[in-house]
Structure 1
Amino acid sequence: MYNRLNYMLVGLRPWWWHVCNVLLHAACSVLVARTCVTIARLQRPFAALAALLFAIHPIHTEAVAGVVGRADVLACIFFLSSLLVYHRPTSNKKSVCLSVVLGGLSMLAKETGVTILLLNLAIDFYRCWPFVKRSMWSLKIEKKCAGLSIRTIKVVFSLALLISMRLALLQGTWPVFSPQDNPAAFHPSFFVRLMTFCYLAAFNWWLLLCPWTLSHDWQMGSVPLITSGWDLRNLLTCAALGTLLLIFYRCFTDLEVQRHSPLLVGLLLLVVPFLPASNLLVTVGFVIAERVLYIPSVGSVIITAYGVQLMWYSKPGSKLFLVVGLVVLAASGVARTHRRNADWRDRAILLRNSCFRNTIPMAQCIVTSADVTSLPQNAKLHYNLGNFLRETEQPDSAIKHYKEALRLWPTYASAHNNIGTLVAGPENAEYHFLQAIRYNKHHVNAHYNLGKLYKKTGRTEHALKMLERCILLQPRFVQAHVELLSLKPDSEKLEILRKLVELEPNNWEHYILYGNWLKNRGLPGPASKFYLEATRVSFQLQSSQRSVRADLISFSSTALMYRALGQKSRILQLLTRWHTWRRGWPSSAAAHMYWRDWRLKMELEGRVQIYSKAVNPTKSKTCFDHKHLDVEPNRDVKVEEKVPVNKHTSVSAKDVNCECKHCVKKRNLSVPTQLKTTHNKSEIGLKDKKCEHRKESSDIIPKLGALTEHILMKTF
């Protein structure tokens, strides 16, 4: 909802989206300072230090610079707001309910936000522990313990309700991941999975302490599996686990006195929000994601600030060294954050700096041991860089990176598929498409590309098989239906056309295809309806999406079909509406006025000269025939402003003998004396017709003959 509001205000201008993310990050920093004072009970200068370290931490670059990371920032805002509301000094019964609501909003932004309810209960138990212990020894429930029990019931019930709602949104199923997303989760050995996941947790903590090696994607071999107990990386796991146990022991021994509240609050903020993303409880679709460390980093900076506070008062002589160290720490954080923000300015820079040194030009990015920097073993980074090179029309470099991705991950089906679209020769392309299907039998694009290749090489039966398999895997694949339509016989195209119109009812091309099929089947009436629907759909598109090609093709098809049916009056109506929409008048009133004005000009064109001469008529022995109304093209006609005659001049039937063979009755002829002249360079071709008697107020409507055809040919 926040992104939708952002789009309504500023559209897709990236600068304003980044400004909004920075403002949200600043709001989080303020909430961190407030949390350090009221919840962690740090002194104000050190609370400000914790907020400053949080604001400049390089690990937050992905969450603030990327639009996807806004979910983590919003989740942190609601997370800290729920924490402050639950533990505010003047708490009441409504505080718990409001805290639960804020926790639910945090969960809607990010699933890990639901852990705030567990964190609130843990801090609540910590603060009420002396009363709980006293009640346990005396077997009497004190007032504090009774309130704690009520809050616990409310929070546990709310937690169960929120988790049920979240599962309902997932329709009762867990997300499905592949080995490419999280290789360790699919390893058959339990000990390999345990050692790898424990190391990943320790490595995440190391990123909070030393965020030097950063990447936007850590999948597919970025972190090799730990398959042996003698792996040196297990030392980092043991060090992190040992430090964590020491902090827990220090907090446990301090339950009675509670002198180290910042330590416990920081530890809980570090561990509890990270548990859902640790792969220890549930399997997630990533190995390491820097943006999920946005909330746990609050606990990390609280522990750091509390350590500085202890050293500040316990060792007064080391204050100068502390100040210098803090300045160096802040400066290094600012420098690393600035450099990381520069990487996020552009997709090409982000991909290049994730794989290669900045000194290598993009067009010459070839994988060598001297050029690889942080994550040379990440196959997905090479794949993404290959996609970028393919989009920028550098196929040779793209193929090299696709092959490097296959060397690192031989079963990478998407890399095989993309190589098949770039290599020369149908045999090579067919080999890579088949390899992609071999490693991933549900790869829709590989089936589609192979079907197009078979169609291009004349293997119709194989093309039909692949395209039908593609539609079976993804029934809403529109392009596969379009390709299949060109291969099926006319008797089997009806069902495909109906499916296309059903899948994309706002695509004018599908109505044109349907109309062409009906036209070829000898059904001009139904075909004209689909052509008209294509015209209507093309008119309804926004000006930025409407193209001249859509308007012209749909309009010409409709007009030609109307002409074949002999409905020339409908062609006139369609033409006026088309002119109105092409002028960009969405108002129905303006369109109607323009249509009336244009129609009046069409009716009066070519007849002005006859009407002007009829001001002073002479007696004639013959009736007016239609051929007398013809006007030579490009003739200038002038009308006198004042004519001293009566308003109407008539010829009596008794004085005039009708010599027209086609006329059966005698008639009176009356013409208005003053008419407004209209000059138009268009020609009207009128055929000789029988003389018909017309009243003075009757309208003269020309039939469309050569005029409509001339306009259509001139338009297209």
Structure 2
Amino acid sequence: MHVVYELLYCIVLNHALWGLRPWWWHACNVCLHAACCALVARACVTVARLQRPFAALAALLFAVHPVHTEAVAGVVGRADVLACIFFLSSLLVYHRPTSGKKGVWLSVFLGALSMLAKETGITILVLNIAIDFYRCWPFVKRSITAWKIEKKCTGLSVRTFKVLVSLALLVCLRLALLQGTWPSFSPQDNPAAFHPSFFVRLMTFCYLAAFNWWLLLCPWTLSHDWQMGSVPLITSGWDPRNFLTCAAFGALLLLCYRCIADIETHRHTPAVIGVLLLVVPFVPASNLLVTVGFVIAERVLYIPSVGSVIITAYGVQLMWCSKPGTKVFLVVGLAVLGGSGIARTCRRNIEWKDRATLLRSDLVSLPQNAKLHYNFANFLRETEQQDHAIKHYKEALRLWPTYSSAHNNLGTLVSGVENAEHHFLQAIKFNKHHVNAHYNLGKLYKKSGRTNKAIKMLEKCVMLRPQFVQAHVELLTMIPELEKRKVLSKLVQLEPNNWEYYVLYGNWLREKGIIRIALKYYLEAMRLTFKTRNIESLIRGDLISYRSAALMLRRQGQKSRTLQLLTRWHTWRRGWPSTAAAHMYLRDWRLKIELEGRVQIYSKAVNPIKSTKCFDHTQLVIEVGSVNQGNQIRQEPPLFENSKDNTFKKSVKENLSSGKTNSAACNIKTCKIKKRGPSLTSQIKTIHNKSEIGHKGKRCSMHRKEKNSQGNNMIPKFKAPLSEHILIKTF
């Protein structure tokens, strides 16, 4: 959750200014760390009451501390740095000399911001009350002994009430953001928290607190991940690590005794402030009050390290003032301490250069960490080093046999169906809610032909995670046709911006004959692809969706709707922002659609021969010259200019009187005339009639033979009914 809150402060601004360039992100983290160092120096002077040179020393030690590398070098660690900034700002506002009512509420507001950046930031409210109580203790004691409440005590009670009420409200707000429950963790995250024995948990947690303090004093062994076997559990009271725990808590008790003894005289204020800053911010991460999802995390030591450096600087101040002869040794020791901190920090930053370097260096420090082996194996698998990846997966399983994720990933690499199935089943055995193991096992069953088992595993995967899109896609290829509609609807619902699922749904609806809804999904797919047309893609989704819709409409014989769809596709493809331009384009295509019927009529007038046989003139005269209306024959005006051929007319009348209108078909050889129809890409072009430009009309070869045989019996010329003809130019 703290990553979400971090976006509210700095990440959005960082991304808006410089995008995703890593250099600026690291530079921003370094600037925030420098601001923390300045606030540490200010807090050491005003709150801890250190002398200015030693306050600067504390800030310098804080700046070069190697344990801060994870918080500063990693972008995720910015939450801890921001929490520290608001933490120290709240501390300075609350304890400034001129602080009044507004100062208290401003301090609470800054504490709330610190909590939103990191949960441990809420401890600043408790710390402010503790320091305020420490400073006002003489007045509190005098009021108790004299049975008279002084003005200082009244102000302390009012401030305490305000802070405690604010603390309760902030805790309720934090729980509300978590929906009323604490975060849940697994044994892999924090093995000690799930041990059944109370004494084992207590000894282990106490040792972990002492070990964290040791990291502040001697940050030599560092790692970005301390889970899964990095720190073995303390199961016996004779474990040697218990002596380190006793030594650490003994030193802490001595410091606490010094603080209690100084509560009236205020002679060692820096020591008191340092102990409070060391202990109070670390308590939520110690596992003593609530269970956290880590064993050791270096980034959570960012705020407690302020108390550690204050105690160190105050010790140097005491020795510098009380024993002047030791100044040379102090200078040399501080130079060695600062130089070693700088060297270790530089080396640690080099290790944080990239993922591979970090994992290799941490494996050298913690070879018994199963999670480091698992993460390194994942890196090797991504870089196509399969053999080395299998080796580290097996090492992770040797260190942690119940590591379900390692079983699952190893199953994807091993050869043989039986070996892969064994590892997938082991992953499901140790973690019944492992979604990826169910999915991979379902794909394995599908590949080996066990369809029923594959469907069962994929349905289990969908039940565990309804938003798992890939499982729905795999199910779509195996379930019956009647059940596919439900899966397709779920895919469209899960990813409404994925055009491929709309095309799949449209194809299914087209096969079922639901044309109208199928066209709707095709059009939506086209709209989505044009919405993301600026993104480079190897697949033209708009062309695929348009082709599917056009083929469907063409099979239905809806040519006008096909042209309309083509118009819409052209309009979307060109991406015209102007409505007028799109309107003109649509009107142009609408005009072509309206002229389609007329074009066909005019093309018949130019080329009336639609069959592969020629008809004689008798058929032509019968077809257009007269109309048989019942028993009467109505003569139409002749189509010929020259009607001197009486023998021809006589033969026509005989044919009409005998009723043999269909027997006049001539036995003429077939003419090889190719029929040419209009296409969608045709253009309209007007040309003059061939009779007007001196060209003779085409006649079949049989007519030419009759002409030669008859001599002067010429066939009359046709009278042109039109001056111009509209032809279709085909490409």
Normalising by structure 1, we get a TM-score of 0.81
- Determine if contact 1:627/1:687 at 8 Å carries over to the other structure: no
Is 2:67 the partner of 1:33? no
Q: Is 1:432 matched up with 2:423?
A: yes
The corresponding residue for 1:499 is 490
Amino acid at match of 1:298: V
Instruction: In structure 2, give the amino acid aligned to 1:353.
Output: S
Q: Which residue of 1 aligns with 2:168?
A: 160
Kindly provide the amino acid, as one letter, of the partner of residue 413 in structure 1: S
Separation in structure 2 between the aligned mates of residue 60 and residue 220 of structure 1, nearest angstrom: 23
Which of the numbers 253, 257, 267 marks the counterpart of 1:245?
253
Q: Judge conservation of contact 1:577–1:595 (CA < 8 Å) in 2.
A: no
Hey, what does 1:684 align to over in structure 2?
Answer: 682
The 5-angstrom pairing of residues 333-412 of structure 1 reads 333-355=341-363, 373-412=364-403
Query: What letter is aligned with 2:535?
Result: S
Q: Encode CA deviations 1:571-608: one digit per residue, 9 max, x unaligned.
A: 4454455456556x5x622x86378469859989xx9x
Question: Residues 578 and 625 from structure 1, CA distance in 2 versus in 1: closer, same or farther, beyond 3 angstroms?
Answer: closer
The equivalent of 1:208 in structure 2 is 216
Q: How does 1:213-362 map to 2 (within 5 A)?
A: 213-355=221-363
Query: Any unmatched runs of 5+ in structure 2?
Result: 1-7, 596-600, 608-636, 641-679, 687-725
Kindly indicate whether residue 514 of structure 2 is the aligned counterpart of residue 523 of structure 1. yes
Deviates most, 68-77 or 595-604: 595-604
CA shift in 2, pair 1:297/1:312, >3 Å: same
Distance 1:332 1:629 in 2: 100
Corresponding residue to 1:93 among 101, 109, 129: 101
Which of residues 393, 406, 417 is equivalent to 1:415?
406
Asked if structure 2 preserves the Cα contact closer than 8 Å seen for 1:538 and 1:546, the reply is: no
1:593 aligns with 2:581: yes
What is the distance in 1 between the residues matched to 2:496 and 2:254? 64
Q: Which residue matches 2:152?
A: 144
* Structure 1 match to 2:205: 197
- 8 Å CA contact retained: 2:230, 2:369: yes
Match of 1:649 in 2: none
Q: Which residue number corresponds to residue 485 of structure 1?
A: 476
Give the C-alpha shift of residue 706 in structure 1. 8.2
The structural deviation recorded for 1:343 is: 1.3
1:132: how far off? 0.5
Q: CA deviation at 1:541?
A: 2.4
Three-state SS of the structure 1 residue aligned to 2:365 is: coil
Counterpart of 1:316, as a letter, is P
1:541-597 Cα distance to aligned partner (Å, 9 max, x none): 2623655332332232233233334444554454455456556x5x622x8637846
Letter in 1 for 2:183: P
Paired letter, 2:400: W
Going from structure 1 to structure 2, the CA distance change for 1:266 and 1:323 (only over 3 Å counts) comes to same
Name whichever of 16-25 and 402-411 sits farther off.
Answer: 16-25
Question: For 1:658 and 1:251, how far apart are their aligned partners in 2?
Answer: 131
TM-aligned CA deviation for residue 378 of structure 1: 0.4
Partner secondary structure for residue 173 of structure 2:
helix
Give 1:4 deviation, angstroms. 2.2
Shift in Å at residue 525 of structure 1? 2.3
Whether the 8 Å CA contact 1:436–1:443 is kept in 2: the answer is yes
Q: What's the secondary structure of 1:178's corresponding residue? A: coil
Closer, same or farther in 2 for the Cα pair 1:594/1:335, shift >3 Å?
farther
1: CA distance, partners of 2:149 / 2:211: 44
Assess if the C-alpha contact under 8 Å between 1:514 and 1:530 holds in 2.
yes
Verify the 8 A CA contact 2:41 2:58 in the aligned structure 1: yes
SS where residue 181 of structure 2 aligns? coil
Q: Compared with structure 1, are the counterparts of its residues 15 and 628 closer, same or farther at alpha carbon in structure 2 (3 Å cutoff)?
A: farther
**Paired residues for 1:564-643 under 5 Å:** 564-572=555-563, 574-575=565-566, 578-579=569-570, 585=575, 588-589=577-578, 593=581, 596=584, 625-626=602-603
Report % sequence identity: 72
CA distance in structure 2 between the aligned counterparts of 1:472 and 1:116, rounded to whole angstroms? 44
Which residue number corresponds to residue 66 of structure 1?
A: 74
Which residue among 436, 449, 452 is the counterpart of 1:445?
436
Whole-Å separation in 2 of the counterparts to 1:706 and 1:522: 34
Aligned to 2:716: none
Distance in 2 (alpha carbons) for counterparts of 1:506 and 1:601:
30
Q: Determine the C-alpha separation between the residues in 1 that align with 2:378 and 2:288.
A: 34
User: Is residue 115–residue 121 contact of structure 2 (8 Å, CA) maintained in 1?
Assistant: yes
Q: Name the residue aligned to 1:619.
A: none
Q: Does structure 2 retain, via aligned residues, the 8 Å contact 1:576–1:595?
A: no
Note the alpha carbon deviations across 1:283-324, whole angstroms, 9 max, x for none: 111000111011001111111111111111111122122112
1:550 to 506, 529, 541: 541
Give the distance between the partners of 2:684 and 2:442, measured in 1 at CA.
55
AA paired with 2:581?
M
* 23, 46, 50: which one aligns with 2:58: 50
TM-aligned CA distance change 1:600 to 1:256, over 3 Å:
same
Tell me, in whole angstroms, the C-alpha distance in 2 between the residues paired with 1:570 and 1:88. 78
* Aligned mates of 2:206, 2:232 — CA distance in 1: 13
Q: Distance in 2 between matches of 1:161 and 1:437?
A: 42
Structure-2 residue corresponding to 1:512: 503
Once residues 497 and 320 of structure 1 are traced to their aligned partners in structure 2, the CA distance between those partners, rounded to angstroms, is 79
**1:49 and 1:569, CA in 2 relative to 1: closer, same or farther beyond 3 A?**
farther
Q: Deviations over 1:3-40 (max 9, x none)?
A: 12222222221111111111111111111111111100
Q: Quickly say closer, same or farther: Cα 1:142–1:467, change in 2 above 3 A.
A: same
Secondary structure of the residue aligned to 2:136 is: helix
Distance 1:39 1:470 in 2: 57
Structure 1: tracts of 5 or more residues without a match: 356-372, 608-623, 631-656, 661-681, 689-699, 708-716
Q: Residue 225 of structure 1 aligns to a residue in which SS?
A: coil
Flag the 1:185–1:683 CA change in 2: closer, same or farther, 3 A.
Answer: closer
Matched residue, 2:193: 185
How many angstroms apart in 1 are the aligned matches of 2:484 and 2:530?
27
Any idea what SS the aligned residue of 1:588 has?
coil
In the alignment, structure 1 residue 475 sits paired with structure 2 residue 466: yes
Q: CA separation of 1:600/1:198 partners in 2, compared to 1, >3 Å: closer, same or farther?
A: same
Deviations 1:144-178 (A, max 9, x none): 00100011111111111100111111111111111
Q: Report the CA distance between 1:208 and its aligned residue.
A: 0.7
User: Using the alignment, how far apart are the partners of 1:146 and 1:683 within structure 2?
Assistant: 93
Query: Retained in 1: the 8 A contact 2:567–2:589?
Result: no
Contact 1:50–1:304 (Cα < 8 Å) also in 2: yes
Alpha-carbon separation, structure 2, partners of 1:141 and 1:48: 39
Q: CA 1:151–1:238 in 2, change beyond 3 Å: closer, same or farther?
A: same
Q: Which structure has the larger Rg?
A: 2
1:577–1:326 Cα change, 3 Å:
farther
Distance, in Å, in 1 between the alignment partners of 2:283 and 2:212 is: 12
Q: Work out whether residues 539 and 546 of structure 1, in 8 Å CA contact, stay in contact via their aligned partners in 2.
A: no
